A = this chain, B = another copy of it.
């Protein structure tokens, strides 16, 4: 497996960040990581095949939204919550809250 690139906090572009969150699958992943803490890919239980999941996670990584570290055979993903807070104060937390507002309004599961 190749070296995984993570952008420096100052290289993170707002439009990329919003793009990374502007997909139902990726937004759900962000919510889950926010609630549950760090998780390996296999515990994200999304509704897409693993090749597609891999693609979504790459977009999120390259946008600067999450950090990925290797632990044995798994890849642990974590939101870059504190870093993002320092670069765009309130932004991620506000989006996560909006996601909960939406979930509360649409009680699906």
Alpha-carbon distance A88/B23, docked complex (angstroms):
17
Find out whether the CB atom of B23 lies under 8 angstroms from the CB atom of A15: yes
Copies in the complex: 2
Alpha-carbon distance A22/B16, docked complex (angstroms):
6
- Specify which of B16, B18, B97, B105 is in contact with A10 (CB 8 Å cutoff): B105
Residues from chain B with a CB closer than 8 A to the CB of A94 are 90-91, 94
Residue of B nearest to A105 (CB): B10
A14-B95, A18-B22, A22-B22 are known; give 14 further A-B pairs, CB within 8 A.
A10-B105, A15-B21, A15-B22, A15-B27, A16-B22, A18-B21, A18-B27, A19-B19, A20-B22, A87-B101, A88-B98, A90-B90, A91-B94, A91-B95
Give chain B nearest CB distance to A5 CB in angstroms.
20
Residues from chain B with a CB closer than 8 A to the CB of A95 are 14, 18, 91
A13 and B98 in contact, given A19-B19, A22-B22, A23-B19 (Cβ under 8 angstroms): no
Residue of B nearest to A99 (CB): B14
**Residue A49 at the chain B interface, CB threshold 8 Å:** no
